[in-house]
Copies of this chain bind each other. A is one copy, B any other.
Amino acid sequence: MSHTPSHWFPDCISALSLSRNQRVWSIIVSLFGDMARHPEDRISGPVMSRIIEPIGIKPEATRVALHRLRNDGWIASEKQGRTSFYWLTPSGLTQTAAASPRIYARTTANVDSWHLVVLQPQSTAQRAAVEKPFLSQDYLLLAPGVFLGKGQPLKDTADAFIITGQPERIPNWLKQQIASPWQKHYQDLAIALTKVSRLLDQHGHIISPTQSATLRTLIVHNWRRTLLNHGDLPPMFYPGDWQGFICRDLVMDLLDRLQRPDLALLNNAI
């Protein structure tokens, strides 16, 4: 390999810089979600800088992003002496808690019951208004006017035919329909994660807690941004070559290897 040991850290960061237009506030959301998702957790300004500046984020961009997150009621802050401390607000904690199980799950949960909705056959234009409640991640579009949802149907399922039960078979065309918008994203992520895994193998030495935090943040960030963009379906809905399975395994393996640093130690180390 052409990488010299001294380059391993920037090389990992470069491998994980998949999107050219990374939004800083979104990276900070990933950082808090991974490192400070409990009510007492706080991150000092200097610690935050040391974690995210290696990614290439300028201090000014961090200030703007923190301002926005405070305005949105997502984080709160307090100054102690010359140092600012940041933490998730109750609303930020709630949203983080809602997303975390899916992000950190090692397997996809099965679903006990399903319901399938069939709208009245009608023209695409007529259907537009009626199908609105079903055009979300909570429903999987099978065919025009045909939607699969988890659990019991909503009360306001319009004037639709509804059957509750269990899917018997997911045909290939549906697996492809579900997978195709995301396969490329996950494929790129799998390549990046594999590269990071190899760089860590080659490095073999001690990784500092801040380095660990930087890499964890980037890994969780990339994983979360694709994962939460599509519905959460049990394995039977995906094709055999579903890159999402591969990515999940790689993410979990890397998070196991890159230990989550102790926040209090990090904050005090300054």
Chain B contacts of A173 at CB under 8 A? Answer: 120, 159
Q: In the complex, A148 Cα to B166 Cα: how many Å?
A: 14
Q: Provide the bound-state CA to CA distance between A145 and B171, in Å.
A: 14
Q: Mark each residue of chain A from 140 to 178: 1 if its CB lies under 8 Å from any CB of chain B, else 0.
A: 001111101000010001011111111111111110000
Q: Is A114 interfacial (CB-CB < 8 Å)?
A: yes
Smallest beta-carbon distance A171→chain B, Å: 4
Known: A121-B144, A143-B146, A173-B120. A161 touches B153 (CB 8 A): no
Complexed CA–CA distance, A162 and B162 (Å): 14
Shortest A225–chain B CB gap in Å is 29
Name, among A115, A144, A145, A171, the residue most crowded by chain B CB atoms within 10 Å (CB to CB).
Answer: A171
Contact A166 B168 (CB under 8 A): no
A115, closest chain B residue (CB): B168
Q: A121-B144, A143-B145 are in contact. Are A167 and B161 (CB under 8 A)?
A: yes
